[in-house]
Structure 1
Amino acid sequence: MNLLLRAALFSAALLLITQVSFAQSEAQFPLVKGFGGIYEVPDATERPDPGLDYKIIVDLSTGAENPKEISRWVDNIARLMNLHGLAGVKQEQMHVKVVIHGGAIFTATTDENYQSRYQVENPNLKVYQALKDAGVEFYVCGQSMRARGLTKKDIWPGIEIAHSALTTLTTYVPQGYTMLKF
């Protein structure tokens, strides 16, 4: 093989390796489209089992650090979904419920309510919709709503109103849901 051909083959191989490496470094969104970007970790030996059904209830009580940006905690629910999806867990195997209360309650308000409070449209609603499209169910704590003077019309319509976060959590944990606190 002549030197020019070897150099061309080496360059092509190097380009292919670079492209594969670059592709692996881009965020992926297997279950929740456009939110909760995650990355493949080829060296990971512990991964979700694609043969299991996952029952998860998220206790979401932490508010957004910056109300003008998507709450990292709301986006983390999308990450949770996508991490399982990247490991081969199908959407129908993910049974995720989110109970919103405390400081997180304002992430679940309508654009109108959010705008009157923070002078910006609610950036979290796009994430909530993408999560709902991926099969996630949402409940907002009725007690937190009352304590903050919110009514059903103040809450994004994709969310159900629960009697309380406490009773919702104590209903689903005994049913085998793993509770995560965000």
Structure 2
Amino acid sequence: MKNTISAFVLGLFLVLSVDVLAQGPQFPIVKGFGGIFEIPEATERPDPKLEYKILVDLSTGAEDNKAISRWVDNVARMMNLHGLAGVPQENIKVKVVVHGGAIFTLLNDENYKERFEVDNPNLKVYEALKAAGADIMVCGQSMRARNLEVSDLWPGIRVAHSALTTITTYVPQGYVLLKF
């Protein structure tokens, strides 16, 4: 009897474990980054019929410069969360303005390696974000304050006059501001 109960409990554990593992992270919009999970019991979800205009104020530096910044990955997560809820990719308008300590996540591999002794792990995330339609900008004021040139950075960016003026330009146009 004891062995039967133990076998049942072990079997149940294995079935539940396989079920949880089968529901691994999903990447509906930003491929390979920002993995998210379906939450079937969620009653509060994005409305797939709405257009989402989101401006991400990305200023927090990476906690570990040898790994992908959780803040850069969080932009991918945010886009994927909307996609998993059924919002079509064309209805998700995302602009990211990078400044402050986060500016180093935009260094090209040569400059990143010189500073942190590894290739920039964030560039693949930025590439995937751009492929998913995100517009990535860097604050020109932050560049100058850190003696950086456009050639020091990932070539997929646009240079903004400043993060401050980018925010004051897009918020009145209906963009929701998220601070990372």
TM-score using structure 2 length: 0.90
SS in 2 for 1:57: strand
Partner Cα separation in structure 2 for residue 20 and residue 103 of structure 1 = 40
- 1:23 equivalenced with 2:26 (yes/no): no
Aligned to 2:7: none
User: Which runs of no fewer than 5 residues in structure 2 stay unpaired?
Assistant: 1-10
Partner Cα separation in structure 2 for residue 91 and residue 155 of structure 1 = 27
Q: What is the alpha-carbon root mean square deviation over aligned residues?
A: 1.5
Post-superposition CA distance 1:128-169 (Å, at most 9, x none): 000000000011000000000000101111000011000001
Q: Shift of the alpha carbon at 1:90?
A: 1.0
SS in 2 for 1:70: coil
Alignment of 1:85-104 (within 5 A): 85-104=83-102
SS in 1 for 2:120: coil
Aligned to 1:33: 31
Q: Shift of the alpha carbon at 1:20?
A: 4.9
Give the aligned residue type for 2:145: A
SS in 1 for 2:42: coil
Q: Shift of the alpha carbon at 1:67?
A: 0.3
- 1:144 equivalenced with 2:126 (yes/no): no
Aligned to 1:8: none
Aligned to 1:5: none
SS in 1 for 2:26: coil
Aligned to 1:79: 77
Give the aligned residue type for 1:116: E
Partner Cα separation in structure 2 for residue 107 and residue 179 of structure 1 = 20
Aligned to 2:3: none
2:120 aligns with one of 109, 119, 122:
122
Aligned to 2:4: none
Aligned to 2:169: 171
Partner Cα separation in structure 2 for residue 141 and residue 117 of structure 1 = 20
Post-superposition CA distance 1:81-132 (Å, at most 9, x none): 0000000011101100000000000001111111110010000000000000
SS in 2 for 1:161: strand
Runs of 4+ in structure 1 over 6 Å off: none
- 1:53 equivalenced with 2:51 (yes/no): yes
Partner Cα separation in structure 2 for residue 127 and residue 152 of structure 1 = 19
Give the aligned residue type for 1:73: W
Number of positions where the alignment pairs a residue of Structure 1 with one of Structure 2? 168
